[in-house]
Amino acid sequence: MNSAIGLAVGRSSVRVPRPTVFGRILFRWCPVRRAVVLENMRRVFPGFDDRELRVLAECFYSHFGRSLFEMLRMSWMTDSEIRRHIRVEGKENLQRAAELGRGILILTGHFGSWEFAPVAAILGWPQYRGRFHFIRKSLGRVLESVLFGRFERAGLGVIPKRGGLDRILDALAKNDAVAFLLDQHASPSSTGIAVEFFGRPAGTNRSLAMIAALSGAPVVPATSYRRPDGDHVMEFHPAIPWIHRDDPQDEIRENTRRYNQVLERFVLAHPEQWFWFHRRWKL
């Protein structure tokens, strides 16, 4: 992508790369969930005018189109080719969490090229092959072999979201890492809890906080993003301190709110690289 441009957000600003011609074409002629994208962006950036929202949306479509190409290309790239396109930062934060011996819970979301970056990262980090697990919806054996086959060949495990608690606890008992993508809607009538996300109530999965309370495993935030040169960064941050409350339900709520605050910072750092298609605010 070309040089960055600034967009005002109240008294501050965010910087995004200029949209590509392909991104502009996608936004205009293949408007997949365009209304949802613009509505979500307006919630996060209420100070943006229509022109600024359109520019940011075009940047997102540029990123999304490029990510689709990367995911398709990944299926025939060699391990060494994939490895050349990733840099892992913050390994020391993961190591400190591992030294506690309680397993590691990874807080993340749909940032950057979220299918490509983890595969590339684990290929360059052989000591964690087979020890990273992602919570995913079960899609059926055939579809999962197509979508998640490259994950598993690289040494990344997939744990079904439904009925996966025993496997999660088993992985933590082995001091493995289990990643939760916490940036999508979860109904408060089932697995979710209503906590603020960018100032508005959003149904957020409470499982991460509940498993952290049960196991004592540290929660390490992680994000990925594409650099201006096209390569990717997978970044691990220091573990989030646990918030203690007398009321167990209030404790789960406050820690889940803290998780959303971390995800907010990831969105603002690279706003064109978050998955804006999802209806995050359904309440």
User: Which pLDDT tens digit goes with each residue over 81-111?
Assistant: 888 888 999 999 999 999 999 999 999 999 9
Structural domain boundaries, residue 64: 4-74
Structural domain total, the chain? 2
| 182 within some domain | yes
Whole-structure pTM value: 0.90
- Mean pLDDT for each consecutive 10-residue tract of the chain (283 residues)? 53 74 91 91 93 94 91 81 88 94 96 87 82 77 58 80 89 95 93 96 96 97 93 95 96 98 96 96 91
Looking at residue 10, its pLDDT comes to 47
Within this chain, do residues 153 and 252 fall inside the same structural domain, yes or no?
yes
Within this chain, do residues 22 and 134 fall inside the same structural domain, yes or no?
no
Within this chain, do residues 232 and 95 fall inside the same structural domain, yes or no?
yes
| 50 within some domain | yes
Within this chain, do residues 172 and 237 fall inside the same structural domain, yes or no?
yes
Dihedral of the CA atoms 197, 199, 200, 201 (nearest 10)? 60
Residue 11: both structure tokens together = 């008294």
Domain-ending residue, one of 47, 74, 101: 74
Q: What is the pLDDT of residues 227-268, one digit of tens each?
A: 989 899 999 999 999 999 999 999 999 999 999 999 999 999
Within this chain, do residues 91 and 114 fall inside the same structural domain, yes or no?
yes
User: Residue 201's Cα: distance from chain center in Å?
Assistant: 19
Within this chain, do residues 186 and 250 fall inside the same structural domain, yes or no?
yes
Within this chain, do residues 20 and 157 fall inside the same structural domain, yes or no?
no
| 281 within some domain | no
23, 242, 276 from 239: Cα distances, Å: 36, 9, 26
Domain-ending residue, one of 19, 44, 74: 74
Contact by Cβ (8 Å): 20, 26 = no
Looking at residue 261, its pLDDT comes to 97
| 280 within some domain | no
Looking at residue 1, its pLDDT comes to 42
Within this chain, do residues 181 and 98 fall inside the same structural domain, yes or no?
yes
34, 115, 229, 260, 278 from 67: Cα distances, Å: 17, 9, 14, 24, 16
